[in-house]
Structure 1
């Protein structure tokens, strides 16, 4: 009843919700990548094999960066450009899958 008598002042579509969520996720993942690349995590002690963990962290940062690129496509979601965005998403998903494989092989 409230919707027909007094419609909401700000009606937001699912497209808007996906864009907002994707943008926030993109920002979060983008903030984590540099820290991993610089091996700035304090969890590992100086006695551990820095090369092995360092290589893993750099690879993981690359993987997260590839996910960040995917979330940027979702953040810019526009149904008028959906065909182009789907093709871009497929390309980025393949890159992310390659990063994941390389990470798993380390």
Structure 2
């Protein structure tokens, strides 16, 4: 059975790539991005709980407060989308930089039979 791997800073990790080399800077960018995403998602969980409690209470002030909470939730979702877009761009740029560095090589992918 063939397993694909991602090589990170010389180490090999199970993944979905085909032996993709990832430098330390790209790895740091991913780690930072995923920490930011997780923090926002944790905040969203709290916002959703508060929105639900306010809705269930049917208290006019609480229902009015939900308008601002839902706005904050929507902004957080936009931030998560932007962070993922940035991470995607980082991967694309890293792959472009990597393939430019390999320009002296044949440019053809080696296919291994399993």
User: Which of structures 1 and 2 has the larger relative contact order (alpha carbons within 8 angstroms, sep 6+)?
Assistant: 1
Q: Comparing both structures, which one devotes a greater share of its residues to strand? A: 2
TM-score by length of 1: 0.44
Q: Which has the larger radius of gyration?
A: 2
Q: Comparing both structures, which one devotes a greater share of its residues to helix? A: 1
TM-score by length of 2: 0.42
